[in-house]
Structure 1
Amino acid sequence: MAQVLKMPTTTELPDSPQRKFVEELFAYYRDAGRPALRIITDDIAAQFDAFTASRETIRRMLRGKTVPVNWQVVDAVLTVLCARANIDPDTERWEGSYDDSPTHRKNLRNLWNEALDAPPPPPAQASGWGAPARSYSDEPPF
């Protein structure tokens, strides 16, 4: 059975332009019914003749481990996820807003550009030598 891909926690991916990009992309992944990465790559291969995106690249994008430098990779993933979610990527992202809303595609592209332009988020520190110091009490543990 395939492992369920989950949105990274704020500990794993702190608030940053990269996180906003991943949150938006992950919303399309959820709307598409969380398809297996193999299905996404197969859909990309079927729709984009000379273009492919590997399962690992897609997994790393959805987990916030990478932001591809090539927009075509992001656009291909968005296109197949939108197709599976019955969303037209060229319609307004926020329908009924008072001002002009960007399309789904344009909004994700803006977030992608912001994520590429921003400095990388600091790595998460789990425990060990790099972990922040804990406060200690003079009281015995019993």
Structure 2
Amino acid sequence: MHEYTSTARVWGLTCPGFPEEVSRARRWTRDILRDSPLAEDAELIVSELSANAILHTASGKESGSFHLALAVSSQVIALSVTDDGGTGSAPAIGHQDQEAEHGRGLGMVSVIAHRVLVHDSDGGHTVTAELFTGACRGGHPC
């Protein structure tokens, strides 16, 4: 195989920062991954990350948006949500008690995903969750 050839397939979707766009992001993810055993986990992750972008960043403000990227290879499904920024701090995995109404979404994503990465991206942040296709939750072989 040529060194610049990739077997990964990549999709992207930009959504306006309206709450109803979270369901659109879920449907989009489900449609792409319809034959994958990890589709439900991916759908839940996209739902949480999209909702976080709308609730906690400028993505949810007037004329805000968020961008999804989905990359699929034989080893991994990578789901990324990039927000419009507007917060003084990067998203972080919080350890909230079970009665908390907010702050548990990224923690839940970190339990479902095999790896979660957060990095700065053009004034906002990108959260990427990876699901390894040959492993179950917690990194154990399926």
Q: Same fold (TM over 0.5)?
A: no
| TM-score, L = length of structure 2 | 0.34
Higher Rg of the two aligned structures = 1
| TM-score, L = length of structure 1 | 0.34
Q: Which has the higher helix share?
A: 1
Q: Which has the higher strand share?
A: 2
Q: With CA pairs under 8 Å and 6+ residues apart, which has the higher RCO, 1 or 2?
A: 1
